[in-house]
Structure 1
Amino acid sequence: MNGSKKARITGWVLSILISLFLIVASASGKFTEWEGKAEMFEKMGWSEDVMFKIGIVEVAIAVLFLIPRTAFVAAILLAAYLGGATATHVRAEEAFFIPIVFGVIAWIALGLRQPEVFRLAFGKPNALTERNL
């Protein structure tokens, strides 16, 4: 197995883990009832109704991130979503580094799956731009 294939597999594994975390660990808590839910959401500054809608958005982004044709747009949406999560945790005076770490890992995962992302991020020419130089 060559390095490129290993990188793509690693990218896919990371992508699946990120999506599973978003759906199973994060969004599911927005859909189910549990003790202290209303108080926690209130501390964060959100109502349960709003958090339910945010959970829907979270699941949609997680699914889109796994579809190759929509993964790049999903990564942008995920970065925006995680930026909102970071701001919410800062406002609630909670640890806010986890959404940042997840955002970085998501972009690394996408770059491993689709190397064009790394070339774009680092300003390296690709086949299309090399012809026009």
Structure 2
Amino acid sequence: MKMKIAGWVMSVLTSLFLIGASASGKFLDWEGKEEMFDKFGYSIELMKKVGIVEVALAILLLIPRAGFIAAILLTAYLGGAVSTHVRVNDPFIFPIIVGVFMWIGVGLRYPDVFQLAIGNSSHSAPTPQPETDSNE
């Protein structure tokens, strides 16, 4: 039970970060915003749409039935963030850290996630056995 609570805490912290620190900057006006988005090659209008997607996924992460698929979609979203930063030679480790933190939280909420990742789950495909020659 403590692991599940820790997973929920991590998921809530991930969502709060995505909404409060990341997405909010896409909606609010601040000095240097236009220059930064120009550097990335994105318009302000596009970044607002990206912010909407980010908020929606952060909220979905907290809905029990949608949490796993939200984590998959957020992985793709964070992959786009990594790609954007790599393309302009910016530090790119932070979106990776956020993604790992998010997946640990999801794994603590849903233990099957860790079992599937490790490969020793009843849900995983059976290991093929080597064929034996019947003539021996």
TM-score, scaled to structure 1: 0.90
Tell me the equivalent position of 2:118.
122
Retained in 1: the 8 A contact 2:112–2:121? Answer: no
Give the SS at the match of 1:95: coil
| Structure 1 partner of 2:36 | 40
The structure with the larger Rg is 2
Is the 2:116–2:124 Cα contact (8 Å) retained in structure 1?
no
- CA drift of 1:126 comes to 3.1
Provide the identity percentage: 60
Instruction: Supply the distance in 2 between the matched residues of 1:15 and 1:89 (Cα, whole angstroms).
Output: 24
Amino acid at match of 1:28: S
Write the mapping of 1:49-128 to structure 2, written as runs, cut at 5 A.
Answer: 49-126=45-122
Gap change, CA 1:34 and 1:115, over 3 Å in 2: same
Higher helix fraction (1 or 2): 1
Q: Could you list the structure 1 runs, at least 4 aligned residues long, displaced by more than 6 angstroms after superposition.
A: 127-130
Gaps of 5+ in 2: 127-136
Q: What is the TM-score when the length of structure 2 is the normalising length?
A: 0.88
Deviation at 1:125, TM superposition (A): 2.3
- Two-structure CA RMSD over aligned residues (Å): 1.6
Question: 1:10-49 CA deviation, whole Å, 9 max, x = no partner?
Answer: 1111100000000000000001111111111000111100
- Number of residue pairs aligned between Structure 1 and Structure 2: 126
DSSP 3-state at the match of 1:66: coil
